[in-house]
Amino acid sequence: MSLGTFVGGPSLGTFVGDLRWGPSLGNGAAVSMSAQARTATSAAGESTRGALLRAAERLFAEYGIGPTSTRAILREAGQRNESALHYHFGGREGLIDALYTERGAQVAAERECMLREFDASGNAPDVRRLCAVAVLPPVRIARRNPEFALFLKVVGQLAFLPSDALQDRAARYTGASAQEVSARIRAQLRIPQALADRRIELMHRMAALALSQRALTGGSFDGPDADLFFETLLDAMAAVLEGPVSPATEREFARGS
């Protein structure tokens, strides 16, 4: 099957055939037109790929990842060719991976920017400020691009993954900046590392669910109410991380060590 079949336009072979059997235009013109054909085909393919990603994001946000079928994604994207999704992503799991990779890269870039701002500020590296660097990058993106809130609806579904799977997804999609923030938070906690790691995981799950719930209920990501919501969330995250270790937890920790 030709590349053009997947993207809904004439195949590259059709363009080349026209050049071969049409009037002689000289080698330079032929090369130029062939390059234009390849560019047009590539652009059409990227358009199809983008349409599938955005369609999947909308449906995952509304119905959840599990219940959304490949057929529904193709229909939402306006694609009649059922091979289009497999061609661009290798299958449904590849599409999910591509969506998280795309959005994760945007969040990682924003977090790296916030880390640079944090370091340039000269402020002491307290836990609450580091929590802001951990959780606010997607909020800042959503304020600039309201469509990003769709992805935040999807993100909450990650919070229900087992610990190993959650950590694997986080490492793959959020980049080195997220690991850097976690390391800085860990360095501020005066508790055993194993307990610190548990608290950091709980903090991330809580933040993902809070942002997802905010998006699912139609809450704004800008304005006074949003500011109060996010400041309260940062208070809660810091409390989870910095709260005293109870005698009961100390006993269980000692028993498991």
Q: Which residues, 6 or more positions from 5, have their beta carbon under 8 angstroms from its beta carbon? A: 11, 81, 83
Q: Which of 89, 112, 138 is the last residue of a domain?
A: 89
Mean pLDDT of 196-205: 94
Residues 57 and 103 in one domain: no
CATH of the domain at 172: 1.10.357
Structural domain span for residue 142: 99-256
Q: What is the pLDDT of residue 37?
A: 43
Looking at the domain assignment, is residue 107 inside a domain?
yes
Q: For residue 159, give the DSSP letter.
A: G
Residues 39 and 125 in one domain: no
Number of Cα atoms under 13 Å in the Cβ half of residue 134: 30
156 confidence band (pLDDT: 50, 70, 90): confident
Residues 225 and 154 in one domain: yes
Residues 239 and 184 in one domain: yes
Q: What is the pLDDT of residue 19?
A: 29
Q: Which of 28, 57, 89 is the last residue of a domain?
A: 89
Residue 220 confidence (pLDDT) above 50: yes
Looking at the domain assignment, is residue 41 inside a domain?
yes
Residues 47 and 157 in one domain: no
Residues 251 and 157 in one domain: yes
**Segments of 157-198 assigned E as strands:** none
Q: How many structural domains does the chain have?
A: 2
Residue 31 confidence (pLDDT) above 80: no
Write the pLDDT tens digit of every residue in 12-25. Answer: 333 233 323 333 44
Looking at the domain assignment, is residue 193 inside a domain?
yes
Q: Where are the alpha helices (DSSP H) in the chain?
A: 3-7, 12-21, 27-63, 70-76, 83-89, 92-121, 127-144, 149-155, 163-173, 175-188, 193-216, 224-242, 247-256
Write the pLDDT tens digit of every residue in 113-149. Answer: 999 999 999 888 899 999 999 999 999 999 999 999 9
Looking at the domain assignment, is residue 246 inside a domain?
yes
Looking at the domain assignment, is residue 94 inside a domain?
no
* % of the chain exceeding 90 in pLDDT: 65
Q: What is the pLDDT of residue 166?
A: 57
Residues 117 and 233 in one domain: yes
Mean pLDDT of 166-176: 71
Q: What is the pLDDT of residue 183?
A: 96
Question: Average model confidence (pLDDT) for the chain?
Answer: 83
Residues 249 and 128 in one domain: yes
Looking at the domain assignment, is residue 151 inside a domain?
yes
248 confidence band (pLDDT: 50, 70, 90): very high
Residues 75 and 159 in one domain: no
Q: What is the pLDDT of residue 163?
A: 65
Residues 175 and 234 in one domain: yes
Give, to the nearest 10 degrees, the angle between helix 163-173 and helix 175-188: 120
Q: Which residue has the higher pLDDT, 182 or 40?
A: 182
Mean pLDDT of 88-112: 93
Q: What is the pLDDT of residue 221?
A: 93
Q: Considering the entire predicted model, what is its pTM? A: 0.76
Residues 218 and 120 in one domain: yes
Q: Which of 51, 67, 89 is the last residue of a domain?
A: 89
Q: Which residue has the higher pLDDT, 75 or 45?
A: 75
Residues 156 and 123 in one domain: yes
